[in-house]
Structure 1
């Protein structure tokens, strides 16, 4: 699979859509990674695994929610996408309050 060329604006919109779905709980981290790798970057699992320095099997496991890797590896996997792993409240009401507070600060 060849690397996809999206405009910076299109890449940002795709990234934001995936992040919103992740925050809402519509998708998990593995599904987000798969969408961004495949749909935004247009890279195969092997090409992306080579890029981030992990095995294709580890990447596949992560995308399927089977992976049990360190935080350092998770950050390495998400770094090329401009993301880092973080903590979010599980309770929707608390998450909404945290996001509202963040929006009022910026």
Structure 2
């Protein structure tokens, strides 16, 4: 797969946009992973799987929301994208307060 021609700020903006979509439950973790792998890093599943030390099948399963991933595995596959697994409130109102606290 050809590397994307995005500038660093464009890659960062894409990452933030997709992360916001994840936090608003508009996309899944797997969809986020696939979009960032392709759009930000420009890597194929094979290349990205080698980079993070997992099988292509495992990566494919994660991107499709299949299987039962551990926190360690999720951290491993999201680390090159500048992300880590964490806990956020499930309640949309609390999540909104976390993202945009009232001063």
Q: What band does the TM-score fall into relative to the shorter chain?
A: over 0.9
For the Cα contact (< 8 Å) 1:14–1:40, is it kept in 2? yes
In structure 1, what is the equivalent of residue 53 of structure 2? Answer: 53
Aligned residues: 103
* Residue in 2 that maps onto 1:39: 39
TM superposition outliers: structure 1 runs of 4+ over 6 Å? none
User: Match for residue 71 of structure 2?
Assistant: 71
Q: Is the Cα–Cα contact under 8 Å of residues 5 and 41 in structure 1 kept in the other structure?
A: no
C-alpha distance in structure 1 between counterparts of 2:5 and 2:37, whole Å: 12
Contact conserved, 1:2 with 1:42, CA < 8 A, in 2? yes
CA distance in 1, matches of 2:51, 2:4: 15
* TM-aligned CA deviation for residue 3 of structure 1: 2.6
Structure 2, unaligned stretches of length 5 or more? none
User: Normalization by structure 1: what TM-score?
Assistant: 0.90
Q: For 1:1-106, what aligned pairs fall within 5 Å after superposition? A: 1-101=1-101
TM-superposition CA deviations, 1:30-80 (whole Å, max 9, x none): 000000001111111111000000000000000000031211111010000
Structure 1 segments unaligned to the other structure (5+ residues): none
CA RMSD, Structure 1 to Structure 2 (Å): 1.4
Higher helix share: 1
**What SS class does the counterpart of residue 65 from structure 1 fall into?**
coil
